[in-house]
Amino acid sequence: MVQLVNNSDEKLIDQLQVIFNEVYDQKDGLKKEFLFNPYTQVYIDIEDGQIVGLIHINAIYDRYEINNLFVLEDFRSKGIASKLMEKVIEEGQNKKIQNITLEVRIDNYRAISLYKKYGFVAKSVRKSYYNGIDGVLMEKEMM
């Protein structure tokens, strides 16, 4: 089940910080996003009562930026990332946004394949963006 995290649910946000510490290694990084970034939205996937994945976006006026899409290792290849992507795309369609953008490491083939499946296209390469590894800026036109 995919659900939007309420930015006032501090207990859940603290729980997400612990579960996804690999993604948010900065102390209270996710909590700070909720406190200081009014564009932050996080959707989580819950399977059998356990939080197993999240997608963190910035919903900026007429566009979305995907900051993180992460599924716990034991739950990968089970369609969870797809469910999260579909939820964000559905919400974007409902809000009539222009596009969705993201950056991904050029060597993250599984993620790139997922993004292409949902209509994302590589727009540019950012040389050495990820500690010496190129990043690919991808975009999905929505309108």
**Domain spans, the chain:** 1-97, 98-143
Give the per-residue pLDDT at 24.
78
Cβ neighbour number for residue 136 with a 10 Å cutoff: 21
What separation in angstroms does the CA of 39 have from each of 33, 91, 98? 9, 14, 16
Please name the amino acid found at residue 121.
V
Q: What is the assigned CATH class of domain 98-143?
A: alpha beta
Per-residue confidence (pLDDT) for residue 23, from 0 to 100:
84
pLDDT band at 64 (very low <50, low <70, confident <90, very high): very high
CATH 3.50.50.60 fits 1-97, yes or no: no
Pick from 65, 59, 60: nearest CA to 101: 65
Residue 31 has pLDDT above 90, yes or no: no
DSSP run (H or E) holding 135: strand 133-141
Contact call for residues 137 and 101 (beta carbons, < 8 A): yes
User: Residue 138: what pLDDT?
Assistant: 98
Asked whether the predicted pLDDT for residue 54 surpasses 80, the reply is yes
Q: Band of the pLDDT at 133, cuts 50, 70, 90?
A: very high
For residue 21, the model assigns a pLDDT of 85
Which pLDDT band, with edges at 50, 70 and 90, does 29 fall under?
Answer: confident
Between strands 133-141 and 121-130, the pairing is antiparallel
pLDDT at 26 over 80: no
